[in-house]
Chain A
Amino acid sequence: DGGITQSPKYLFRKEGQNVTLSCEQNLNHDAMYWYRQDPGQGLRLIYYSQIVNDFQKGDIAEGYSVSREKKESFPLTVTSAQKNPTAFYLCASSIALLAGPPRGTQYFGPGTRLLVL
């Protein structure tokens, strides 16, 4: 079964702690993305990556970091510098980093809900 997996489903962060959210895809997609969704809000782009070892900041990158060491994996670290991390985090991928369908169509993983203790 091809798809995008995210883990864990729920994550609890203590004050001053860094936490890492996992995102893996077996769709052979080149482009991967991280979004944040707050209640009643649209999705906001945190980081995106077109190829291995290359990634770019999105609209709200402050307090987050990513890596892309493998094509299949794009983990997101929420650092202690992110003062309001409670949100639903969504990973997405597309065949290529393009604006339009079909190669630019983005598909989402199931998400990770991050809560602050």
Chain B
Amino acid sequence: QKEVEQNSGPLSVPEGAIASLNCTYSDRGSQSFFWYRQYSGKSPELIMSIYSNGDKEDGRFTAQLNKASQYVSLLIRDSQPSDSATYLCAVANSGYALNFGKGTSLLVTP
């Protein structure tokens, strides 16, 4: 079974702080990694994708990938209350399918 693990949270951070969301995966053959944001009752929306070791930045978001340690993380700088949502980590292996974690709930408090 190819597992994708996330801490369910909730992760609570004050407004303006950095939120750090982590994801580990079991399949060493995994090639690509995605972060989706899902507001309550809504569908997931893509935030970022990453497939090379290191950091990838897009605005306030930074994805970090370490294939040797089999983890991927998402940093949200200057967190806003509107960032409060569940963040899903998805991992693609050599096939087509995405394996999703159960998500981490983030709460940004004013």
With a cutoff of 8 Å between Cβ atoms, the chain B residues found around residue A107 in the complex are 46
- Minimum C-beta distance from A115 to chain B (A): 14
* A45 contact from B4, B44, B97, Cβ within 8 A: B97
Report the bound CA distance from A31 to B96 in whole Å: 10
Contact with A along B46-62 (1 / 0, CB 8 A): 10010100000000000
From 90 to 109 in chain B, residues with beta carbon under 8 angstroms from any chain A beta carbon are 90, 92-103
* B51 contact from A40, A41, A43, A101, Cβ within 8 A: A101
Contact with A along B39-80 (1 / 0, CB 8 A): 000111110010100000000000000000000000000000
- Minimum C-beta distance from B25 to chain A (A): 12
Report the bound CA distance from A97 to B95 in whole Å: 9
Report the bound CA distance from A45 to B36 in whole Å: 16
For the complex, count residues of B whose C-beta is within 8 A of A.
27
Known: A42-B102, A98-B96. A111 touches B42 (CB 8 A): yes
For the complex, count residues of A whose C-beta is within 8 A of B.
26
With a cutoff of 8 Å between Cβ atoms, the chain A residues found around residue B31 in the complex are 99-100
Contact with B along A89-109 (1 / 0, CB 8 A): 010000001111110111111
14 pairs from A and B in contact (CB 8 Å cutoff) = A31-B96, A40-B8, A42-B99, A42-B103, A59-B97, A97-B96, A99-B93, A100-B49, A100-B92, A101-B32, A101-B51, A102-B49, A105-B46, A107-B46
The 5 closest A-B pairs by CB, nearest first: A42-B100, A99-B92, A100-B32, A101-B49, A108-B43
